[in-house]
Amino acid sequence: MCGIIGCAGRGDETLDTLMHGLSKLEYRGYDSAGVALSNEDLSVRRKAGTLDALRSSLSGQTLLDGDDSAVEGDGLHDNPVGIGHTRWSTHGPPTDTNAHPHRDCTDRIAVIHNGIIENYQELRDELAADGHEFHSDTDTEVVPHLIETALETGMAPEEAVRSAISRLEGAYAICAVIAGVDRVFAARNDSPLVLGISEEAYFLASDVPAFREFTDQVVYLDDGEFAVINKNGWRVTDTDGNVVEKSINTIEWDPEETGKSGYDHYMLKEIHEQPRALRQCLQGRVDEFGGEVILDELSDLDPEAVQFVACGTSYHAALYGAQLFRSIGIPAQAFIASEYATSVPPIENDLVIGVTQSGETADTLSALREARHRGAKTLAVTNVVGSTAARECDEALYIRAGPEIGVAATKTFASQLITLSLLTLHLNGSEDDREVIAGLRDLPSNVQAILDDTNAREIAEEYHDSDAYFFIGRGLHHPVALEGALKFKEISYEHAEGFPAGELKHGPLALVTENTPVFAVVTGDGEQARKTIGNVKEVEARDAPVIAVTDGVSDVERYADHVLEIPESTPRTAALLANVQLQLVSYHAAALLGRPIDKPRNLAKSVTVE
C-alpha cells in the first residue's frame, strides 16, 4: 500500500512538485517517504516517518546533495525528471533503508513501487548469486537490479526497463528513472497508475490529486501497459511495445475539494461536506413528481439474486444494501470480500456487487474476479471514476462523494447508502416511490440539521474515558451500529463493538458495566423500535449509561441517559442520519483523546493488498 508519483518538465520546481504530490497521496500510506531526481546524475533522499520527516530532512536544500545522495553532483538543477513515494509497509518495517526509491549497485537507477512482487525471493536469490548487493528487506529492490543487469547486456534504457518488468509476477505500479536518461518509465499491473498531461509537464501517479493542481487531463493506464514521459511528451505502449491509442479524460472535480479549509481535520471537513456530497449523489437521478429514479449509467439489470462483496465500512454499506434488496423480494447477501473466495456461494444469474470507495481495494477486486470467473455479472459501486473496479466490472455505479482524504470513511459511507437505495428503487419502480424519493430529497437538509444542532461533543466529553463502547441497532440500524463502532475504534483507539440489538443478551451483555456506554439507535415506534427499547432496558438494568440516537417518535428517551436527536424521516434515511451523529461522537472523542484523527496508526485509506 503506497502512493507513487513521477514527473517530467517541471524544471527547478521538480522537487516541490514531487513533495506536493506526495502530500496529496499521504492517504495511501505514510510510514516512510522518499524522492529521487535524475538528469546526468541521480540523487535520492528517503526517510522513515511521515512526509514531514522527509520534508525537514530536505529543508533549506535546493538539491538533494546530502548524506544519502548517491552521486555528488551539481547538474541536477538542469531540468531533472523525478519520482517520489509514500509508503505503507508490507515487506519489512518502516525504516530509512526500506523506504523507496530503491537503487541498483551502480547507484544510477532508482525505482518506486506500489504493490507486491510475488516472485521477489526467487529473483533476489538469482540476482544475489550474480553478485548484486541488497540493502533493504523490500520486494521492490529487485527491480533496479534487474534493470541494471539488462543495461549491462547493452539494451537501450526503455528496453532494459521493459525486460526487467517482464520478469515480475504480482501486483505493481512502478516508476523508474536512470541517470543520463531524461525520462520516467512506468508500468502497471493490478495497482493503480494514471498519467497526467499539462501544457508543459507530464505526470504519473497512483491517484489524480497528486497532480490535479497542474492539470485536469488524465490517461488511465490499464494492466500490462507501459508508459514513458519526458519534458516533451508521453507515450503508452503494450507488453509487446506497440503504441496504444489512449483516450484523454478530463477530471471534473477541483483541487479545491482537497485542503482542510479552516477545519482542524479532514474528517470533520468531510463530515460537514455530507449535505453537499448527498446532493451530488442524487443530482439528476430522482424525479419526485414523476415518482422515478433514473440511473443512466446502468444498462437493464434484472437480477434474480444479489451477492455483495466489500470490506470495512463498505461492508456495512453492503449489509444495508442487502436488506433493501431483500425488502423488494430479491434474495441478497453481503460477504466480507476476503472471505468470499474461501467459500464461494453458488452463482446462478446472480448479480455480484462490489462496494469499494477507492475501487482499488484488493480483497474486493479479487472477490469480484472470482465471481466473474464463475460467470456472474458484476457491478462496482465506487467513488472513483476509472478505478480498477469500475473498469473490470460489467457495470459501474458512482457514489459521487468527491475525494475523501480522512482515513476514516464518513461522507463516502453516506453516499454509498444512498446510492444503494437509489439502485433498489431503480430496479423496483413501485407505487410508494414518490414518498421515498421525497425522503431522499430531504436528506441533505436533514443532515445539515444534525450538523447545526448536534450535542455529540458534550456526549464525547462525558464518556471519552470509559472502559469500552457498545453500539446496538436492529434491521437497517444494525449496519449503523457496526459502522458506529468501527469509526469509534479506528480513530479513538478505544475498544468499541457493534451488535444487532437482539444479540446482546446472547453473550455481549456480560461485558456491559456502568463504565461501558451503550449507543442505541431507535427510530420510529414500530415493532423493531419496541424490541430495541427492550434491549435498552436490559443494559439500563446493568447500570450502563445509555445514549439513544433517535428521532423522538418512540419513548426511548425515558430509558436513556442522553439523547442524540435526528430529524424524523423515512426508515431508509434514518439509518444514514443516525450514523452522522455517531461519526460526530467518534470524532470528538478522538479529538479529546488527542488522537491523529486523519491518520490513525496502522491504517491506510485504501487497502490495495490482500
Strands (E), 179-246: 184-189, 194-197, 202-205, 217-220, 226-230, 233-237
| Residue 531 falls in the annotated catalytic set | no
Residue 14-53 contact track with other proteins, rule CB under 8 A, x = bound: --------------------------x-------------
Task: State the Cα torsion 452-455-458-460 to the nearest 10°.
Answer: -100
Q: Which is nearer to other proteins, 310 or 577 (CB)?
A: 577
Q: Which is nearer to other proteins, 176 or 347 (CB)?
A: 176
CA–CA distance, 539 with 544 (Å, rounded to integer): 6
Catalytic residue among 2, 7, 175, 281: 2
Q: Is 457 in the site for other proteins (CB under 8 A)?
A: no
Q: Is 129 in the site for other proteins (CB under 8 A)?
A: no
Q: Which is nearer to other proteins, 441 or 530 (CB)?
A: 441
Question: What DSSP string runs through 567-606?
Answer: ----HHHHHHHHHHHHHHHHHHHHHHTT--TTS-TT--SS
CA–CA distance, 451 with 580 (Å, rounded to integer): 8
Q: Is 106 in the site for other proteins (CB under 8 A)?
A: yes
Q: Which is nearer to other proteins, 109 or 368 (CB)?
A: 109
Q: Are 605 and 28 in contact (CB under 8 A)?
A: yes
Residue 249-268 contact track with other proteins, rule CB under 8 A, x = bound: -----xxxxxxxxxx-----
CA–CA distance, 187 with 227 (Å, rounded to integer): 6
Q: Are 4 and 85 in contact (CB under 8 A)?
A: yes
Q: Are 143 and 163 in contact (CB under 8 A)?
A: no
Catalytic residue among 47, 487, 599, 605: 605
Stretch that binds other proteins, among 227-235, 352-360, 408-416, 424-432 (CB under 8 A): 227-235
The HSE-up count of residue 432 (CA atoms within 13 Å, CB side) is 4
Stretch that binds other proteins, among 198-206, 353-361, 411-419, 550-558 (CB under 8 A): 198-206
Stretch that binds other proteins, among 285-293, 364-372, 377-385, 509-517 (CB under 8 A): 285-293
Q: Is 231 in the site for other proteins (CB under 8 A)?
A: yes
Q: Which is nearer to other proteins, 8 or 407 (CB)?
A: 8
Question: Which of 269, 478, 489, 605 forms a contact with other proteins (CB under 8 A)?
Answer: 269
| Residue 2 falls in the annotated catalytic set | yes
Question: Which of 54, 123, 151, 195 forms a contact with other proteins (CB under 8 A)?
Answer: 151
DSSP state, 255?
A: G
Q: Is 154 in the site for other proteins (CB under 8 A)?
A: no
* Residue in the block written with cell 450535542: 455
Shortest CB 269 distance to other proteins, Å? 8
| CB neighbourhood size of 488 (10 A) | 28
595: region left, alpha or beta (phi > 0 left; psi from -120 to 50 alpha)? beta
Shortest CB 55 distance to other proteins, Å? 20
The radius of gyration of the chain's CA atoms, rounded to the nearest angstrom, is 26
Whether omega for the bond prior to residue 101 falls within 30 degrees of 0, making it cis, is: yes
Question: Mind telling me the catalytic residues?
Answer: 2, 605
| List of residues contacting other proteins (CB under 8 A) | 40, 106, 108, 151, 156-157, 178-183, 197-200, 228-235, 243, 254-263, 269, 272-273, 276, 279, 282-284, 287-290, 438, 441-442, 444-446, 448-449, 451-452
